[in-house]
Amino acid sequence: MKIEIASGCGFCSGVKRAINLALTFAEKDKEVYTLGPLIHNLQVVQSLEEKGVKAVDSIDKIGQGTVIFRSHGVQPADFIKAKEKHLKIVDGTCPIVSRVQRLAEKLTEEGYSVVIVGDPNHPEVEGIVSRASNAIVVQNPDEVKRIKGKRLGIIAQTTQTLSNLRAVTSQAMENASEIKVYNTICKAVLRLQESSCKLAERVDILLVVGGVSSANTKRLFLLAKEINPNTYHIEGKGDMKLEWFAGISKIGLTAGTSTPSWVIDEVAKKVKSYECIVYRY
Ligand code: F3S
């Protein structure tokens, strides 16, 4: 069996930065909270909890101490609430997400109807929506048809695919009189999508490792599955099934930007341990 790991998989710079901030303040401060799980990965959230970093779903649940805002960013109302409660604020918003938030504000000031290509229920998108007074979130080109505005400012959730952003923009051209588009998809995500899709082409089976609620892992899985139907989304080594590997010789591994390298290593190790079992029978 040959195992190949996609280049660029695992923690991105934004996730590393947020985790480093959490670890630093867990050592320095007594009560440390994150607003929502710091990243969409259960293993990491559990390990932070062991170090005293607690995830809460609302600022209202924090009495005092330090609050860390995660890489997805938060809504301005959360900043205001945290300040009013005199909490120490540590802003872990990824600089790439902050740029999208600023663009949403800028497009609003310029009078565009802001169109965000993304998942309306994702916290990153909710944070971006809160920066634009007239934002519309669309997930696909079909949803663009309901937009009434004639001057559209299009931006995307950082984990979107380029093909969806292109398709939405192209559909928007049908009715709008003016369109301004910013490609706000994170370059690390685009590179990872590309390397994972190329890997999907040349392996017999592709394992996509990452949290079930991780947007970029889910998108990676869907993209790769279109190329290689023998693609599986797993959270860790415990989700693999021995029968997937019968008669397989080339195995590809990729992972979302919130998957720790040790989880990827564990999966690779377990796959290797299957080799003798699969070939014995
Ligand atoms: Fe930031 Fe890109 Fe990671 S937007 S959080 S570096 S996936």
Task: Give pLDDT tens digits for 230-256.
Answer: 999 999 999 999 999 988 999 999 999
Amino acid 173: pLDDT: 94
Cβ(245)–Cβ(220) below 8 Å: no
User: Can you give the pLDDT at residue 277?
Assistant: 59
* pLDDT of res. 129: 97
Mutate which of 16, 72, 97 to test ligand 1's pocket (most atoms within 8 Å of Cβ)? 97
The residue type at 21: L
pLDDT reported for residue 133: 87
Q: Please give the number of the atom of ligand 1 that sits closest to the Cα of 94.
A: 1
In what order do the strands lie in the sheet containing 32-35?
53-56, 32-35, 66-69, 88-91
| CB of 215 shorter than 6 A to ligand 1 | no
- pTM of the predicted model, to two decimals? 0.91
What is the structure's pLDDT at 28?
A: 92
Q: Read off the DSSP letter of residue 112.
A: P
Task: Using 70 as the pLDDT threshold, list the residues of the chain that sit under it.
Answer: 276-281
- Crossing angle of the two packed helices 187-202 and 215-227, in degrees rounded to 10: 30
Ligand 1 binding pocket mutation candidate from 71, 91, 157, 183 (most atoms within 8 A of CB): 71
pLDDT of 255:
97
Catalytic annotation present for 124: yes
Encode 64-102: b = buried (16+ Cβ within 10 Å), e = exposed: eebbbbbbbbbbeebeebbeeeebeebebbbebbeebbe
189 CA from centroid of ligand 1 (Å): 7
Query: 185: Cβ below 6 Å to ligand 1?
Result: no
Nearest to 252 by CA among 220, 204, 191, 192: 204
Question: What number does the ligand 1 atom closest to the CA of 95 have?
Answer: 1
**Measured distance CA(273)–CA(2) in Å, rounded:** 12
